[in-house]
Structure 1
Amino acid sequence: MSEETHTTQTQQQAELQKRLWAIANDLRGNMDASEYRNYILGLIFYRFLSDQIVEHADKMLAPDHLTFAEAYAKPDYKDAVKDELVGQVGFFIEPQYLFPSLVKNIQDGHFDVEQLQNAVNAVQNSTLGQESESDFRGLFEDMDLSASRLGNTVAKRSALIGKVILSLANISFKEADLKIDVLGDAYEYLIGQFAAGAGKKAGEFYTPQQVSKLLAQIVTMGRSELKQVYDPTMGSGSLLLQLGNYAKVGEYYGQEINGTTYNLARMNLLMHGVNYSRFNLYLGDTLEEDHVDSMTFDAVVANPPYSANWDPAGKLDDERFRKYGKTAPKSKADFAFVEHMLYHLSATGTMAVVLPHGVLFRGAAEGAIRRYMIEQDNVLDAVIGLPANLFYGTSIPTCVLVFKKGRDRNDVLFIDASSDFEKGKNQNTLPDVDVQKILDAYKKREDVDKYAHVASLDEIKENDYNLNIPRYVDTFEPEAPIDIDEVKQQLAEVDQQIKDAQAEFDKLASQLVWTDKGDHDDK
């Protein structure tokens, strides 16, 4: 990429972000970030679906020299057009409900939110009985157009939503006009901005982009194609999508426990050009409902909830957890997620997961599980310490554990990247140069003073399978030697300054006189 093209992309991204956040501000006065997020992203997604229908319809009808509206108005075309489009993109939108049609109604003063509600309902209804039905079911359920927070009358709600639609209509989403993935950038930017304002809840749906890039590049290293990939705690799907930036991905699989976040993930994949036929996303508790059953994947990535509660009762009867002999503690499900992921990792696959540092050294059942993974399965490939305060909702430092099956070595690479970050107003960030530094160290797998160490199995055994990074990477910086004579001289000078100051004070005090003798005598 030329410097000029890169500069153009940066400028276009900045302009896009500025305009999108301005649109979001039209809503933010009425509700909190988690609420107006659903309206903004929902409307952007609806415009995307509308554009998709128009694009495919134009191509399909070009030989007949008909517009989509003209063809749909002809009885002998209508059903065929609908069936063909549903087969191509998985859904259908009538001409009257297309985004430009809604815009015209707003401009003509004939719009109300009921039209938009009918439009989104029609999208879902068009998928009923189709292969795409489960992928579109409930996609817009978080965009409540009857909510009083949009206005206490239909007219007020219509005016506010209409204003947002018109603002979105003024942004060009045509690739010919731009050198960036507008929809993808829009979605990623807004998810990140909403995460910044969502506090503790942000961790439920967003992994910072730089961390996603790190995990994606680790699991795709040396591979140009991945048949199937999986994220068992996918959030908004950003981590899954990063895999597609570094390798050709066949099918995406993921699961998410939060319904709103599950909807975000489905929208996110669709807006990044992943056809509904190429992803299988599920709603539910991964540890309780294993929707991918006995499938295995070339790459598995995750940023699961840290030290979450779970129910280990009866789990040793579950094939995912049985061989370890013990279950993760009820109040710390970290290793339960790791076990689940390993169960679904193919014999030649790579897996990377973000976890709190406690998994490296906690004892009891977790210590036994950790030992089994290292000694019996020989699947732990690397431990990477990340800086603190990278993630929304928590300031704790985290680590990335990298696992591989079928390894031909039994050592473990330790990398301490905890000091490499840029300090931000609310969150620290991991610059590209530091991401690359980690990747280079992982690829070379060599000792680097105060940064990386390749620990043998014997060394890990000597540490009783405690993986706390400072045991393997010594980052201690000795203080400069102290010159005792110089310190003595400085102390002597300070003592003299104190004596001089005291003498000056005593001199001034002796010169004080009482100005009211009567008061003095009374005392």
Structure 2
Amino acid sequence: MAVTQQEIESRLWDAADELRVAMPEAQYSSVMFPLMFWKYLSDTWEHHHQEFLADNEGLDDLSPEEAHEIEFRDYQSFEIPFIHPGTVRERRASWSSILATVTQPGLGKRVRASLQAIETANPDKFSRLFGAMTWTSDEVLPEEVLAAVMQAMDRTPRMHEGNMSHDVLGGAYEYLLKRFSDGAGTRAGQFFTPREVVELIVEVLDPKNFESVYDPTCGSGGMLIASANLLKARGGRGYTLKLRGQESVPDTAGVARMNLFMHNLTQFQIEVGDTLKDPRFKKPDGSVAQFDVIVANPPFSSKWKPWTQDPRAIGGVAPQSAADWAFVQHMIASMHPKKGRAGVVLPHGVLFRGGQEAAIRQRVLDDDLLEAVIGLPANLFYSTSIPTCILVFRAPGTKIEERRDGVLFLDASTRFIKGKNRNVLTEEDIADVVTAYHSNFDPDGNPVDPDGDEGLAARFVPTTAIAANGYDLNIGRYIKQAEAKQEDLGSLIDAYNVARAERQKTEQHMLAVLADAGIEGLSE
């Protein structure tokens, strides 16, 4: 029987809920994602192991070594090795094997040994995948709680392709990401970008089959996955994308790797390190590698150690107090020279702050690299309530003719619905932004076919006009905000006076009735 999305999500949350007695919800992800991925690997390995046994019943004369070689070559894509081999404690480092020992002392140590053994046996795929694993210590997570989590998670259906699709499995992983982000509040910003913001950036950049997609601050990998999902939804082959990401937090990088695997995306490489200080993707000559599509939601206005000499620093070096433009400079340097495009989410301050940032902004505009500025609503993100914007860049000389020597401004700041913890862009909002982005504009910069009264405010502004404003990109300078419908003040006063007179007349009548009934003492 097919496994429903709701069923697996409900069971997984039941398992996560067992952690409530041991740690705050903000820390659940450090335990749940490694356990979930371990179960997925184990269920998948055991599923293929049973297929191997069924297909090779007549090969009893094979030695254990020969059988292992055939199985790993023809049936398995990774290894689940043994822990404590050659001792009385020898057992497979699989979920089911360790689950059978949950009542025995030392559960955390066996779990840790199993995860480490899987990493060691599969260095090309799973090196450093499971993170620091501090939660396997009894001091951090009591063994009885770990046992309860594992027993609850074991009630989820088998996590292999014969039992559930990767769409369901990946959706369940994203469900937990979302739930943990809701509970983690501002701390969630380090690994989770709201799905609708990711979808908007990817829709605008429009990745194609066999292209490379790079996220220099990849968090949990959501933007890379969304790129593949969009391509698949449009009839393309998402699995052909070469996905690359860098993340400064090792445990979060592990979350990204697990996320990609669970979405059945294997053409990826996630590196750990500070992208500004130590970019890990490079060409043989030492310069940064270049990609077709670049997406990012870097930490907003974070402090950093400015470059002293770096070829990425076009126009100058961003100030120590805010690395926003440094991330942009890195993304520009990383764009493929013939078809590179980039989309990044940043705070509005990047549009108008002065000093070194203004000098960088001028260089970027003079080189005609900035294609669009999209204003987003406030309170979209877990990490901040401030309004943000998306900047879209194109490699030098690759803009279409109609977009050269100018910038497209779109204002979507009023397009949202209120959610429990934050505002949300709807699918209709995303579609309207994408439609406006692809619009044609008349010589005055106005949309040729504006989308009615409910359409987005949009305008194409020549670089010369922006230069005349001191290279200020503040959206309000170029788009008149939709004026709120205002009632005539005189009409409002007249209506108030009529209502007030009617209320006074009603009160006087009521007081008279009460007085006739002998009820006194009510003041007018």
Match of 2:80, as an amino acid?
Answer: F
Q: Identity, % of aligned pairs?
A: 34
Match of 2:407, as an amino acid?
Answer: V
Kept after mapping to 1: 8 A contact 2:72/2:79: no
**Residues 90 and 19 (structure 1), Cα distance of their counterparts in 2 relative to 1, 3 Å cut:** closer
The answer to whether 1:466 aligns with 2:452 is no
Match of 1:230, as an amino acid?
Answer: Y
Kept after mapping to 2: 8 A contact 1:236/1:262: yes
- Deviation, 1:232, is 0.5
Partner of 1:241: 225
SS in 1 for 2:213: strand
- Deviation, 1:77, is 3.0
How far apart, CA to CA, are the structure 1 residues paired with 2:183 and 2:498? Answer: 55
Q: Deviations over 1:70-119 (max 9, x none)?
A: 999x534365258648x96344334733222334444x879833332321
Partner of 1:283: 272
Partner of 2:121: 126
Partner of 1:93: 81
SS in 1 for 2:368: coil
Partner of 2:177: 191
**Residues 215 and 489 (structure 1), Cα distance of their counterparts in 2 relative to 1, 3 Å cut:** closer
- Deviation, 1:56, is 4.0
- Deviation, 1:54, is 2.5
Q: Which has the higher helix share?
A: 1
How far apart, CA to CA, are the structure 1 residues paired with 2:333 and 2:154? Answer: 46
How far apart, CA to CA, are the structure 1 residues paired with 2:58 and 2:196? Answer: 46
Partner of 2:343: 352
How far apart, CA to CA, are the structure 1 residues paired with 2:492 and 2:113? Answer: 83
Partner of 1:170: 155
How far apart, CA to CA, are the structure 1 residues paired with 2:69 and 2:358? Answer: 62
**Residues 492 and 54 (structure 1), Cα distance of their counterparts in 2 relative to 1, 3 Å cut:** closer
How far apart, CA to CA, are the structure 1 residues paired with 2:34 and 2:209? Answer: 32
Match of 1:451, as an amino acid?
Answer: A
After TM superposition, the structure 1 = structure 2 runs for residues 107-186 of structure 1, keeping only pairs within 5 Å, are 112-127=107-122, 130-132=123-125, 135-137=126-128, 139-151=130-142, 157=143, 159-172=144-157, 173-175=159-161, 177-178=163-164, 181-186=167-172
Partner of 1:292: 281
How far apart, CA to CA, are the structure 1 residues paired with 2:152 and 2:484? Answer: 58
- Deviation, 1:282, is 1.3
Kept after mapping to 2: 8 A contact 1:382/1:403: yes
How far apart, CA to CA, are the structure 2 residues paired with 1:71 and 1:422? Answer: 66
Match of 1:415 among 374, 388, 410: 410
- Deviation, 1:307, is 0.4
CA RMSD of aligned residues (A): 3.3
- Deviation, 1:176, is 5.1
How far apart, CA to CA, are the structure 2 residues paired with 1:114 and 1:489? Answer: 75
How far apart, CA to CA, are the structure 1 residues paired with 2:19 and 2:95? Answer: 20
Partner of 2:427: 432
Q: Deviations over 1:19-78 (max 9, x none)?
A: 2222111112210123322111111010111123224444555542289xx999x53436
The answer to whether 1:229 aligns with 2:213 is yes
- Deviation, 1:425, is 1.6
After TM superposition, the structure 1 = structure 2 runs for residues 34-113 of structure 1, keeping only pairs within 5 Å, are 34-60=26-52, 62-65=54-57, 74-77=63-66, 80=69, 84=73, 89-94=77-82, 96-106=92-102, 112-113=107-108
Partner of 2:360: 369
Match of 1:27 among 19, 42, 51: 19
Q: Deviations over 1:411-450 (max 9, x none)?
A: 2211111111110121111111111111111122442465
How far apart, CA to CA, are the structure 1 residues paired with 2:440 and 2:224? Answer: 26
SS in 1 for 2:392: strand
- Number of equivalenced pairs: 473
Match of 2:244, as an amino acid?
Answer: Y
How far apart, CA to CA, are the structure 1 residues paired with 2:247 and 2:336? Answer: 21
Match of 2:94, as an amino acid?
Answer: L
Match of 2:374 among 381, 384, 401: 384
SS in 1 for 2:212: strand
Greater shift in the superposed pair: 88-97 or 35-44: 88-97
- Deviation, 1:497, is 9.3
How far apart, CA to CA, are the structure 1 residues paired with 2:414 and 2:424? Answer: 11
Partner of 2:86: none
**Residues 176 and 282 (structure 1), Cα distance of their counterparts in 2 relative to 1, 3 Å cut:** closer
Match of 1:98, as an amino acid?
Answer: S
SS in 2 for 1:285: coil
Partner of 2:521: none
Partner of 2:330: 340
**Residues 22 and 371 (structure 1), Cα distance of their counterparts in 2 relative to 1, 3 Å cut:** same
SS in 2 for 1:414: strand
- Deviation, 1:358, is 0.6
Partner of 2:463: 457
Greater shift in the superposed pair: 253-262 or 470-479: 470-479
How far apart, CA to CA, are the structure 1 residues paired with 2:419 and 2:360? Answer: 37
Match of 1:171, as an amino acid?
Answer: T
